[in-house]
Amino acid sequence: MEQEGGRETLPFSIIQLMISILLFFVLFFGIGFILNMLLRMTWIMTCIYPIVVIFIVDNIPFITYFREPEEAFQTLGTNLRSLAPADITVLLSGLAGTILAGFTMKALRKRGYRMF
């Protein structure tokens, strides 16, 4: 195990990276597509995604952001700065999936498909 920013990390092989990128892309494309279809708000998941990333990256309870905001946001900043490039790539692929879901919904609606 390697030490990075005070956190222990496991080595990340290129195959794991590629599978993780694909998994996050497909997962968040699907979630974004379903939310867009049900709520009829094209960019809802793209707006919610940063909050999802905070929950993925940070390991403190959500209520701490209201009770002790200074400490919580400092911890979040530290955790975001200590992310490895592979982690950032995986998280960005999820964001790309939500963006593509929005464009897909816009294109389908433009062509006359009315979902729900």
Q: With contact defined as beta carbons under 8 Å apart, do 79 and 54 qualify?
A: no
The CA-atom distances, in angstroms, between 107 and each of 1, 40, 101, 104 are 46, 13, 10, 5
- Report the mean per-residue pLDDT for the chain: 88
Q: Which pLDDT score, from 0 to 100, does residue 42 have?
A: 85
pLDDT tier at 21, thresholds 50, 70, 90: very high
Q: With contact defined as beta carbons under 8 Å apart, do 29 and 97 qualify?
A: yes
Is the pLDDT confidence value at 5 over 60? no
Task: Give domain status of residue 32, yes or no.
Answer: yes
Q: Which pLDDT score, from 0 to 100, does residue 94 have?
A: 97
How many angstroms separate the CA atoms of 59 and 47, rounded?
21
Task: Give domain status of residue 12, yes or no.
Answer: no
Percent of the chain whose pLDDT exceeds 90 = 65
Task: Give domain status of residue 65, yes or no.
Answer: no
Task: Give domain status of residue 23, yes or no.
Answer: yes
Determine the structural domain holding residue 37 and report its residue range: 18-56+85-110
Task: Give domain status of residue 7, yes or no.
Answer: no
- Return the minimum-mean-pLDDT range out of 3-17, 22-36, 80-94: 3-17
Q: Which pLDDT score, from 0 to 100, does residue 10 have?
A: 65
Mean pLDDT in residue range 6-23: 82
Q: With contact defined as beta carbons under 8 Å apart, do 33 and 97 qualify?
A: no
Task: Give domain status of residue 5, yes or no.
Answer: no
SS3 category, 46: helix
Task: Give domain status of residue 13, yes or no.
Answer: no
Question: For the chain, how many structural domains are there in total?
Answer: 1
